[in-house]
Amino acid sequence: MKNIVIFASGSGSNAENIISYFEHHESINVVAVVCNKPNAGVIDRANKYAVPVIMTNKGDLQSAAFINKLKELEVDLIVLAGFLLLIPESITQAFKMVNVHPSLLPKYGGKGMYGHFVHEAVIKAKEKESGITIHEVNAEYDKGKILFQASCILEEGDTPEALAQKIHTLEHAHFPKVIEKLLLNQQ
């Protein structure tokens, strides 16, 4: 059995989509959700599927005890699904990690570029398309090897909210499948 731990800070729609996708999978299992915000919606979503939630903070991420806890879970892949803290190098070197970013990297990536900030920048720049990038995680924001991209067309009059909906549709359609292929070594 391959084990996934999801790191999430927000509402958790991507985390729930991933948990649901693998809920009855014969060889992949979500063993925990790591969260750094006590009121994040992802906590309720994880509880709905009886997935344990591990609360953390920036300091804990740096600790050997936290890394040991992940090793005890026999983690094969850490999935970032809206986790807003920079992952320390001690974790990126110890575990394979992937993230989904709401733009076509290398455009609109880096510190502070998440969620509506990305969508606002894409619209302001009058881009013709946007999309998602699923990439490996290293010690720099959005600089890991690109594994997969999918795009959507921007239409005149699209708002950041409308673009966000298009991006969520792409994330939900592709992120679990890319994770599955990665874990099953088919990619």
- Name the residues annotated as catalytic: 101
In this structure, how many other beta carbons lie within 10 angstroms of the beta carbon of residue 160? 17
- Which tokens go with 45? 């979503």
Distance of CA 175 to the CA centre of its chain: 8
| Cβ neighbours of residue 38 closer than 8 Å, sequence gap 6 or more | 55
Q: How far apart are CA 142 and CA 158, in angstroms?
A: 25
DSSP for 107-145?
Answer: TT-STT--HHHHHHHHHHTT-SEEEEEEEE--SSTT-SP
CA-to-CA dists, residue 12 to 71, 72, 87, angstroms: 24, 24, 18
